[in-house]
Homo-oligomer: A and B are copies of this chain.
């Protein structure tokens, strides 16, 4: 169960649920997904468990913010998680599950379309991550190995996202070529 720990990691400084959602959709987006409606009760539970505390904050737009910050107990719980085993489960990759059964469709043309659509999405992700990296590198001359320690590890997850999505892109190209060859398609 990683979500509460991820939240504890994020709220080193006071943050609103809404701001946290934006972090998920940008910085954490290539390895974690969460709905906003999932974050509010999760934050509330951290507070109930004494791992976080909240303060009201002013908002430039809209209703007042509720800012959460981790307590010392919350920081300890975070450290426990970081010192525990690397979490490898559960793995769930919907599109690979689809590929696994693609033979049932008996329709090479639509299968090819599936892979092309997938490739497009993967390329878009690689491009987005590349842009993030380029921006970061141009803003901070310490990039990547002289970055402050916390950013040093954040940067590693960016590298991981790039490496893996690039590998998936190459795999996708290979699948497309093999399907074209096998079924004489263009």
Contacts and interface: CB of A to CB of B under 8 A. Distances in A.
Nearest to A161: B96
Interface residues on A, range: 35 or more
Contacts of A89: 33, 94
Contact of A95 (B86, B104, B159): B86
Contacts of A105: 79, 82-83
Copies in the complex: 2
Given A167-B167, A171-B160, A9 B100 contact: yes
A92 B62 CA distance: 31
A2 B94 contact: yes
Interface of A is mostly: helix
Cβ-closest 5 pairs across A and B? A87-B94, A103-B150, A9-B101, A31-B96, A167-B167
Interface of A: 2, 5-6, 9, 12, 27-33, 75, 78-79, 81-83, 85-106, 110-111, 114, 117-118, 121, 145, 148-154, 156-157, 159-161, 163-164, 166-168, 170-171, 174-175, 178, 181-182
